[in-house]
Homo-oligomer: A and B are copies of this chain.
């Protein structure tokens, strides 16, 4: 039954897995080599988009999901009067576009932050894939569930955290995502501008700068332009005030908090 995850050991090798984010969808299902072969057939086109180019537009017909191979992408929505809100930054190994399933139209716009290579998987192929390997459906549910959780944490950040907490949270979240993909957790470069970071976190560009300098003065980080090093994950963590995970015990005593 698809709803119960098959938890065999994955057998496709790490290189192939890193090569294309589509594997992320199937890896946790424990595909055998045959399935992995099968998978390869469904990756139709590889596409390169340059910095600033659009991968898909808001409202455009939902035709493909995209798996990022290298580079990075931002997704954003906007008010009718033109204010943008960046809803996510996406790095290699991540899958894009799935949430368009309901309306058959992309519900955000995706723009490359740097030269980016993606796999395009057409919807038809994807459906065929799900027919061949039923637990793909379950895997899709898991990924969307993960995205919902991520978005809820972002809502907590936007609704309740102050500027310092937002920046610290942002840096640590990035760090964890890089670490998960075997990149350095303490040293990486930001493919997005200060403006983008501010936009994403609900802060002004200037505030982002000021707080980064403050972090630097306090020895928490070292940053020069896009290059950044996290020198004190510990202290950053205590600044960030991560969401409560709830595994140890019930929620802490309710403090019907106002924001901030």
Contacts and interface: CB of A to CB of B under 8 A. Distances in A.
A9 interface: no
A179 B202 CA distance: 31
B144 A145 contact: yes
A142 to B, nearest CB: 4
Nearest to A198: B258
A155 B150 CA distance: 12
A154 interface: yes
Contact of A140 (B4, B79, B141): B141
Total identical chains: 2
A98 interface: yes
Given A99-B145, A146-B102, A257 B155 contact: no
A211 interface: no
A24 interface: no
Contact of A243 (B78, B101, B200): B78
A15 interface: no
A108 interface: yes
B199 A80 contact: no
A259 B101 contact: no
Interface string A237-260: 000011111110011111111110
Q: Which of A100, A140, A143 has the most CB of B within 10 A?
A: A140
A108 B151 CA distance: 12
Given A59-B246, A149-B99, A257 B82 contact: yes
A63 interface: no
A84 B78 CA distance: 26
Interface of A: 1-4, 57-60, 77-85, 87, 98-103, 105, 107-109, 123, 126-127, 130-131, 137-138, 140-149, 151-156, 158-161, 195, 198-205, 241-247, 250-259
22 contacts: A3-B123, A57-B250, A58-B251, A59-B245, A78-B244, A79-B243, A82-B252, A83-B257, A85-B160, A87-B155, A99-B144, A101-B141, A102-B141, A102-B145, A103-B145, A109-B251, A137-B137, A148-B148, A148-B151, A155-B158, A159-B200, A199-B258
